[in-house]
Amino acid sequence: MTIDHIIDDFELLDSWDDRYRYLIELGRKLPPFPEDERGDATKVQGCASQVWLVSRPAEGSDGPRLAFIGDSDAHIVRGLIAILLALYSGRSARDILAVDPAATFDRIGLREHLTPQRSNGLRSMVERIRADAREALAAV
């Protein structure tokens, strides 16, 4: 699912209860996360719930591209991961570093509806994705 599709869906939902249900549904649609990837190296620090993110770099015509998989033990956080994967996965490392995730979450109207803990966790996930992009660029 594309980030534009997710944004359009959010705009159709009037109540925040419906938007949270949709967020949880997005998380349920994430592909299964490999058990052997659940470890300290893939765990995102700074999240109240457990979050794992894995980047898989590949060479593209415009430099390294990164595909991501992720998971969490919290339903809403899984939904946030689904949004981040739609926003970042498959992009070039340079594009990842240029994306403003705050603008996307503002468009959805989600940032002001997240608890401070979830907002901190979201920032930690974005920073992990950006760090992986910087690392992929440095390896070229």
Helical packing angle, 16-28 and 3-12, nearest 10°: 150
Torsion 67-88-126-93 (CA) sign: positive
CA nearest 94: which of 63, 125, 69, 129?
63
Cα separation, 56 vs 131, whole angstroms: 13
Q: Look at residue 140 and tell me whether its pLDDT is greater than 80.
A: no
* Among 3, 23, 26, 47, the one annotated catalytic: 47
- Residue 60 a catalytic site member: no
Q: Is pLDDT above 80 for 116?
A: yes
Assigned token pair, 92: 């070039």
Q: Which tens digit of pLDDT belongs to each residue from 12-56?
A: 998 989 999 999 999 999 999 999 999 999 999 988 899 999 999
Q: Which CATH number is correct for 3-138, 3.40.50.920, 3.30.450.90, 3.90.1010.10, 1.20.1090.10?
A: 3.90.1010.10
